[in-house]
Amino acid sequence: MGSYIPTTKKEQLEMLKTIGYASFDELFSHIPQDVILKETLDLPSGLSEIEVQQTIKEIANKNKVYQHIFRGAGSYNHYIPSIVKSIASKEEFLTAYTPYQAEISQGILQSIFEFQTMISELTGMDVANASVYDGASAAAEAIGMCREKRRNKAYIASTIHPDVLDTIKTYAYANGIEIIIIDEVNGKVDIETLKSSVDKETACFYLQQPNFYGILEDASQISTIIHECGAKFIIGCHPISLGSIQSPRESGADIAVGEGQPLGIPISFGGPYLGFMATTNQMVRKLPGRIVGESVDIDGKRAFVLTLQAREQHIRREKASSNICSNQAYQALIASIYMATLGARGLEKVANQCLNKAHYLQKKLEELGFRLVYDAPFFNEFVTESTIRHKELFNRLEDLSILGGLPLDEHRILWCVTEQNSKASIDLLLQAITEVSK
């Protein structure tokens, strides 16, 4: 980043004089006296550079940084090639922002266009938008896209991430959409209940694939049920899993959404993250936010433009499905660099490593008395049940710098494995479990 040098007192007075004021008090004299703070703020005095460094280090040392992570549940520990940060840290990317005359910023528009293209290829959809805030808001925005005059019911699988469900409910309440939850059977959507529930008032059905328990749902069968009643089918997908499983388009989805954090974005205490959205040509005009397109300029050279903005500021208010007015351009850039670095084959290899290592861990855990709760195909997450006391186990794991799976209750744990978990790391986890179970 460029250097920041504050103005001196002399420079400040010269600026005040230029605009016709003798002091800062005179500059703000139009502000009523009763709202002006007259006392000095109760703030600690400034520190020297060395004192600041020492203070920050003391605060940072309170953090627990685990060397081995076996927890996912929406935030995943994937390897990020060094070139991703190297390119994304360039000053022209960090300081850039799309102005209201967007076509002036051809570089930013191109980066968004490339992101849209790769998300479309990844999901199999015709078009993607410039991104939204996170995966949960993408899911909620997708449901808003499906609402029609006589279709105001949104059916949601109970097997989705609880935080995503909370976000959907918040958006739906404000938009007047009725939310109906379809219960699970053996960790998957109850197909028979879904079939008997949907009707001509159904706007859409939202499915997470893989679901919160890591299980791969029967998406193609669900697609047929939903489309038979004229509703839309939304899939919330894990982008890495698309390297080895059916794409949302192949599963019959009308809209594909998801959390882009696994695509080169660090866990970073929960954000900022990246929501991606993609759909078919038939629904493109309901896609919220921005869509960047490719054109030619007056000289016939390749150029990029804001092709469509389907929000209330740009179209008739009653036609808008959303009022979202920004996108995660920098996070989308990082995801684009990551996807371009790995390529299709690289992404497939990462997905297969996640899949294979998760199944290896599951089999080894089963040998130690951790029963697989749901007998169904899974990607890189799975739920086990055991009689081992969680508190004692996790205390031992913490001593070894291992972050264990997510406890769902007193006996069940949701485990996650990525390409970052080596065999040595998995064996260390198994050894610790063996010690505690004795």
pLDDT at 317: 65
| 29 exposure class (CB count in 10 Å sphere: 0-12, 13-18, 19+) | exposed
CATH number for 82-339: choose from 1.10.357.10, 3.40.640.10, 3.40.605.10, 3.40.190.10: 3.40.640.10
Task: Kindly tell me if the per-residue pLDDT of 319 is higher than 90.
Answer: no
CB 274 within 8 A of CB 134: yes
In 46-105, which residue ranges form alpha helices assigned H by DSSP? 49-60, 82-88, 91-94
Tokens 């360039």 belong to which residue? 90
What is the average per-residue pLDDT within 306-311? 72
For residues 26 and 30, give the distance between their C-alpha atoms in angstroms, rounded to a whole number: 8
The H or E element that residue 294 is part of is strand 290-296
More confidently predicted of 311 and 163: 163
Residue-level length of the chain: 438
Tokens 């005040």 belong to which residue? 16
Confidence tier at 38 by pLDDT (50, 70, 90): confident
- What are φ and ψ of residue 419, in 5° steps? -65, -15
Rg (CA), the chain: 26
For residues 230 and 146, give the distance between their C-alpha atoms in angstroms, rounded to a whole number: 11
368-380 in b/e form (b: 16+ CB < 10 A) is eebeebbebebbb
CB 338 within 8 A of CB 80: yes
Q: What percent of the chain has pLDDT over 70?
A: 95
Confidence tier at 318 by pLDDT (50, 70, 90): low
CB 288 within 8 A of CB 322: yes
Tell me the β-bridge partners of 180.
Answer: 155
pLDDT tens sequence across 120-129: 999 999 999 9
**Full-model pTM:** 0.87
For residues 7 and 169, give the distance between their C-alpha atoms in angstroms, rounded to a whole number: 49
CB 246 within 8 A of CB 197: no
Task: Kindly tell me if the per-residue pLDDT of 298 is higher than 50.
Answer: yes
CB 244 within 8 A of CB 355: yes
pLDDT at 320: 67
Strand order across the beta sheet in which 371-372 lies: 371-372, 381-385, 412-416, 406-407
Residues 6+ apart with CB under 8 A from 349: 243
pLDDT at 114: 96
Q: Where along the chain do its domains lie?
A: 68-79+343-437, 82-339
CB 202 within 8 A of CB 175: no
pLDDT at 67: 94
For residues 156 and 150, give the distance between their C-alpha atoms in angstroms, rounded to a whole number: 18
pLDDT tens sequence across 46-88: 899 999 999 999 999 998 889 999 999 999 999 999 999 999 9
**Residue 384 CB neighbours (<10 A):** 23
Mean pLDDT of the chain: 92
pLDDT at 310: 58
Residue 177 DSSP code = P
CATH superfamily of 68-79+343-437: Aspartate Aminotransferase, domain 1 (3.90.1150.10)
CA-based torsion, 358, 362, 365, 370: positive or negative: positive
| 284 exposure class (CB count in 10 Å sphere: 0-12, 13-18, 19+) | middle
pLDDT at 102: 78
The H or E element that residue 208 is part of is strand 202-209
pLDDT at 100: 67
What is the average per-residue pLDDT within 376-401? 93
Residue 314 structure tokens: 């740009």
pLDDT at 1: 43
Confidence tier at 148 by pLDDT (50, 70, 90): confident
Lowest pLDDT segment from 95-104, 211-220, 296-305, 413-422: 95-104
pLDDT tens sequence across 78-99: 999 999 999 999 988 887 776 6
Task: Kindly tell me if the per-residue pLDDT of 105 is higher than 50.
Answer: yes
CB 306 within 8 A of CB 290: yes
Q: What percent of the chain has pLDDT over 90?
A: 77
Task: Kindly tell me if the per-residue pLDDT of 416 is higher than 80.
Answer: yes
Task: Kindly tell me if the per-residue pLDDT of 165 is higher than 60.
Answer: yes
For residues 1 and 354, give the distance between their C-alpha atoms in angstroms, rounded to a whole number: 36
Tokens 């958006």 belong to which residue? 171
